[in-house]
Chains A and B, each alone.
Chain A
Amino acid sequence: MADVKLKGIKKSYGPVDVIKGVDIDVNDGEFVVFVGPSGCGKSTLLRMIAGLEDITGGTLEIGTRVVNEVPASERGIAMVFQSYAIFPHMTVRENIAFGLTIAKTPKAEKDEKVMEAARILQMENLLDRRPSQLSGGQRQRVAIGRAITRNPEVFLFDEPLSNLDAALRLDMRMEIGKLHKSLGATMIYVTHDQVEAMTLADKIVVLKDGYVQQMGAPMDLYHRPNNLFVAGFIGAPSMNFLDVDIVSQDGTSAKVNSPVVAEFAAPVWRDGVGQTPKATLGIRPQDLRPVAEGGILEGTVTLAERLGTETIVDIRLSHGHRVLASLGEDRVFEPGEHIRLDFDHEKAHLFAPATDQEKQAAQSAA
């Protein structure tokens, strides 16, 4: 077991900088998830830790060693790929034993380790099958089995669930979570799916454009996102963003309003808020609730999706704005119905003023 330290890690392909200086500490036994929209550099970062990509700048430490120049096989890592990367011509047993075969491990020890991995993954009965006879989930399990037999200090997962269908994805997600608990190994996991990130991670690293946007426990990121991007990316449906004017402010709160937002006091704690008379207000759809009188927002229902446990309502405000509300109950709304909304003002998020483009980017990334 080992911790992993990334210090000022950079990656360039010719003139193109992909990773622009990243510092991340992964503690021993921690489950860290790199998350971000496609093209943010998260997979590149993982492949640099694995040793499949050269490191352009900065240092990478695994355990106490700097491993920038150490070949992949000697870094004490094992990797599980999105496409499984299991060998179609080998049986499950041979696939799981591949690393041991390469290392010319004696047969008895090899058998023992394969059985051990098969037991952990509950696939003892599949050992003599070929990959073509396995389902997607089983194939991914074989790939994880191969990683386990390496007995690595750090497990690396590169979007391991992306090729699975929704139901299997849920199963495998739980399985990976359990695996982490039972092995207690350091794991680094890359995904673009924020639900996977939220459910699995001890620590989430949100990446965008080659920079770390925020790093922390899932609930920290959810409740106290550093910036508009993280706020929009974490949580589903995405946070609503509305432009507001700051009417007045003291140290910890500011009175804000806009043509569509009735005046109220919102907490202020982020850098950059209040330096201009404008701000962007963020409200989570889950925080909104319909009220009979008053409220901060009002508009008309354009669409309501009833999911049983919750109802997602699309509401058109005046001036072309719209918000989503996610109500934790089953309720019937008619399109065109007039609705007033309020929320716990303490849960409002104020950000430095953002362009429509930035807002959209943050919301569509999730």
Chain B
Amino acid sequence: MASKLTRANRTGWLMAFPGVALMTLFIIVPFFLAFAFSLTNQRLASPNAAEYVGFENYSDLLGVAVFTLEPERDDSGAVVRDGDGEIEYPRLRNFTRNNPDYPNLAGKREWFSWQSGENRVVVLASDVVFMKALVNTFTFVLFVAPIQAGLALCLALLINQKLYGINIFRTIYFMPVVVSIVVVSLLWRFIYSPGDGLLNNVLGWLTFGAFEGIDWLGRTDTALPSIMAMSIWQGVGFQMVIWLAGLQNISPTLYEAGEIEGASKWQTFRYITWPGLRNTAVLILIVITMQAFALFAQIDVMTQGGPLDSTQVLVFQAVERGYGKQDISGGSTISVILFVIVLSISLVQRYLTREK
């Protein structure tokens, strides 16, 4: 006989209450608050009441304009050149500041530009730092997701063999996952440190001293790749375990059938292993993409977005704005944009990898 305790609906709800309440308070409520804040000028602590501002926060972040600068010409119509022979252009700020003829450029700054014949085409953004964060985040995802997934699959294939002591390798590859990302980031800061950092030392030793030390995290061209490499290393073990589970789900008789038909190693992978990993691949792709978009701790610990915003990413910007600059509405807006991006990418991935 079931007692009243186990049958009563109320008891069930009561038991679920602590968990549900915490999740509501810290996940569901903030989720909806972010949407709400992104439409106001709410600040973290302010004596003034928040006002509804519509989509101003979004246009402040996402505003982009393309503007063509024509060269300065002298009275005869010839292009004016400076002492080095470079074409001279009017100053951009003439158009972006207090110029009633160009209201769409007001307040925007130069993001990047290129030369088009005599003209210079300038792309302006309302928030250049946000744009850099957006590009860096996408770059990070585009490199990390496929490389990490591919590397993890290679490792999984390697450790899926029946070799003596294979569990030692499994443990070694999985270890970085167990260590906190903050600790890993601190350690890698030592590895990457300029001068006599571990990486510089090893490279110097391997090249018999020919390699000159690089300030890995201090240069705009190496900072983001360095963080990518370290992130791949840290997360690859986790994906490896998921791949491994997928591999072990494939029936051994399929491999035996392949063996009898004379399939080569590559054909075995192409016709048996890879199709058998389909569902795992979808899972891994989505998980890695979402994890990569959420990049924060590495940046926070290692570079704080620098140097020169070369490692700014969306989540770091959201936190930086919301708490650093006390601009909660700006931070919320970034969070909502990130949510929309990840959601759309997941939906597209799901559509592309659907069961036909």
A residues contacting B by CB (< 8 A) are 50-52, 71-74, 77-79, 81, 83, 85-90, 98-99, 101-103, 146, 150
Contacts and interface: CB of A to CB of B under 8 A. Distances in A.
Nearest to B263: A102
Nearest to A147: B260
Nearest to A99: B261
Given A102-B263, A102-B267, A150-B261, A52 B256 contact: yes
A72 B263 contact: no
Interface stretch (B17-25, B142-150, B187-195, B270-278): B270-278
Q: Name B's interface SS.
A: helix
Contacts of A52: 256, 259-260
B115 interface: no
A51 to B, nearest CB: 7
A50 B263 CA distance: 15
Nearest to B268: A102
A99 B262 contact: yes
A150 B278 CA distance: 28
A89 B260 contact: no
Range of interface residues on B (Cβ < 8 Å): 10 to 19
Given A98-B271, A102-B267, A85 B262 contact: no
Contact of A87 (B254, B256, B262): B254
A86 B256 CA distance: 11
Given A98-B271, A102-B267, A85 B259 contact: no
B353 to A, nearest CB: 13
B253 interface: yes
B268 to A, nearest CB: 9
B262 A79 contact: no
B256 A98 contact: no
A73 B254 contact: no
A81 B262 contact: no
Given A73-B261, A101-B271, A102-B258, 14 more contacts: A51-B260, A71-B259, A72-B259, A73-B262, A74-B262, A79-B257, A79-B260, A81-B256, A86-B257, A87-B272, A87-B275, A99-B262, A146-B261, A150-B261
Nearest to A149: B261
5 contacts: A71-B259, A81-B253, A90-B275, A102-B267, A102-B271
Contacts of A86: 257
Contacts of B272: 87
B98 interface: no
Given A98-B271, A102-B267, A85 B261 contact: no
B59 interface: no
B251 interface: yes
Contacts of B258: 102
A105 to B, nearest CB: 12
Q: Which 4 A-B pairs have the closest CB atoms?
A: A73-B262, A89-B275, A85-B257, A99-B261
Contacts of B256: 52, 79, 81, 85
Contacts of A83: 251, 253
B261 A102 contact: yes
Contacts of B254: 85, 87
A78 B272 CA distance: 18
A87 B271 contact: yes
A58 B253 CA distance: 26
A131 to B, nearest CB: 12
Nearest to A89: B275
Contacts of A73: 259-263
Interface string B227-270: 00000000000000000000000010110111111111001000
Contacts of B278: 89
Contacts of B262: 71-74, 99, 102-103
A51 B259 CA distance: 9
B70 to A, nearest CB: 59
Contacts of B276: 89
Contacts of A81: 253, 256-257
Contacts of A98: 257, 261, 271
A150 B259 CA distance: 13
Given A85-B251, A85-B254, A87-B254, A77 B260 contact: yes
Nearest to B257: A85
B257 to A, nearest CB: 4
B270 to A, nearest CB: 10
A101 B263 CA distance: 9
Contacts of A99: 261-262
A96 B253 CA distance: 16
Contacts of B267: 102
Contacts of A77: 260
Contacts of A88: 275
Contacts of A90: 275
Contacts of A103: 261-262
Nearest to A81: B253
B356 to A, nearest CB: 10
Contacts of A51: 259-260
A190 B181 CA distance: 55
Given A85-B251, A102-B267, A50 B260 contact: yes
